[in-house]
Amino acid sequence: MTYYFKCGDSSVQAMSDEYSFKTMPSPGPNAYPSRIAVIGDLGLTSNSSTTINHVIKNDPALVLMVGDLTYANQYLTTGGQGASCFSCSFPNAPIRETYQPRWDGWGRFMEPLTSRVPMMVIEGNHEIEPQVDGITFQSYLTRFAVPSEESRSNSSFYYSFNAGGAHFIMLGAYVDYNITGTQYSWLMDDLHRVNRSLTPWVVAAWHPPWYNSYNSHYQEFECMRQEMEALLYQYKVDIVFNGHVHAYERMNRVYNYTLDPCGPVYITVGDGGNIEKVDVDFADDPGKCPKPDDNKPEFGGLCHLNFTSGPAKGNFCWSKQPEWSAYRESSFGHGILEVVNSTYALWTWHRNQDAYKEDTPGDQIFIVRQPKLCSPTTKETSDPPQGAQESEPTSPSSTVILSSKMMWLMSLLVALFGIVVR
């Protein structure tokens, strides 16, 4: 359905131009938003501009923002210059105060995209913006409407929504995530209610990654992983999107730090282009393994662990790229998810520096759902939707990496015949 709208005050003839946007397809296994853009840690810099121009060029039907939107919380202290390590540069800054004109400017900056494409957001640490009397998250809560009531969470810090055959779960990393808390019990109910016949894909998103091999924020949210990972695994969440680390990283399917064909594909896109610059060091680089308390979360405790098995057994950091890390690159960019049917989704990461030349993907894979392999515990029918066939497992990981020629051929076959090749 297309909605037409104007913003402003008609009583004083101060109305905007007319804009329109399309709502998401109704839940069902055969209809998906054409392209879903995933952006993290955007900010408001020349790199942010390149990212958003690139996103607009890729013509998404839905935008997912995985936290740290404006960086307005450090604008006054840094004089707009930013700091790659805020607490190092400004150890005596009492709070990371908000600066509302920066939020307004970011809103105008985003208008060419958000005036016509629905955008769903989740909070990051830069949205905390502490004020007197313990007040937090005021800009985030005031400026964005999220379907918390509709998804029965009754909290803007975590909620869910459907977009065609995909169910999205947005989680809060800066509010209670413990098994005993209300977010966890809501998540359990929400996952239980998902009807995989209607929404075969379940995609989760929150700000700080659980799986991250960069030095920056390494194992920072290990406590959250230890509380929630088993539940996401039990309900066979397909994909997890995160930000926070200012670089790109895609993981192999993993559960409890062990490769597992039934674990989610984790993808970090905290590379939107903010003023804190890109993260370049890996925790497995010589001399770059952080000390356990180098990366303190802005919410929750420290639960750092040394690995108990595998090549990094007994150590806090790996000595090479971990086996669960499939691809990592320190460039700004954004991702596009194109769900083809209930089995296949194409994920493409677009680097900013490729925006102005032949737009070669920085990273591209088909993500393949294999519900029969992974014995679902949810209400999933065993029959694939019309026109689709479940694929047999092709590798220990059900993330299939194909050459660009094969992907082109596959896309063509799907487009022409509505079938899926093995």
Kindly list the catalytic residues: 217
Q: What is the DSSP letter of 223?
A: H
Q: Among 48, 125, 139, 398, which residue sits at the site for Fe ion (rule: CB under 5 A)?
A: 125
Q: Where are the beta strands (DSSP E) in 246-371?
A: 248-251, 254-255, 258-259, 265-269, 325-329, 333-339, 344-351, 363-368
Q: Copy the structure tokens of residue 366.
A: 């088909």
Using CB atoms within 10 Å of the CB of residue 392, give its burial: 0 to 12 exposed, 13 to 18 middle, 19+ buried: exposed
Q: How many CA atoms lie within 13 A of 165 on its CB side?
A: 24
Between 278 and 388, CB nearer to Fe ion: 278
Estimate to the nearest angstrom the gap between the alpha carbon of 306 and the chain centroid: 26
Cβ 22 to Fe ion shortest distance, Å: 31
Near Fe ion by CB under 5 A, which window of 57-65, 68-76, 146-154, 286-294? 68-76
> Residue 127: what are its φ and ψ, rounded to 5°?
-90, -5
Cβ 216 to Fe ion shortest distance, Å: 10
Residues 205-264 that bind Fe ion (CB under 5 A): 244
The yes or no reply on residue 68 touching Fe ion (CB under 5 A) is: yes
Q: Among 25, 29, 40, 124, which residue sits at the site for Fe ion (rule: CB under 5 A)?
A: 124
Distance set, CA 34 to CA 9, 62, 165, 205, 333 (Å): 34, 8, 12, 19, 20
Distance set, CA 242 to CA 15, 55, 265, 313, 333 (Å): 37, 18, 11, 26, 14
Between 244 and 351, CB nearer to Fe ion: 244
Q: Copy the structure tokens of residue 199.
A: 């929404």
Count, residues near Fe ion per rule CB under 5 A: 4
Near Fe ion by CB under 5 A, which window of 6-14, 125-133, 155-163, 360-368? 125-133
Site map 160..199 versus Fe ion, x via CB under 5 A = ----------------------------------------
Cβ 338 to Fe ion shortest distance, Å: 27
Near Fe ion by CB under 5 A, which window of 17-25, 65-73, 166-174, 228-236? 65-73
399 neighbors 373 (Cβ within 8 angstroms): no
Cβ 380 to Fe ion shortest distance, Å: 34
Near Fe ion by CB under 5 A, which window of 57-65, 91-99, 116-124, 386-394? 116-124
Cβ 125 to Fe ion shortest distance, Å: 4
Contact residues for Fe ion, defined by CB under 5 A: 68, 124-125, 244
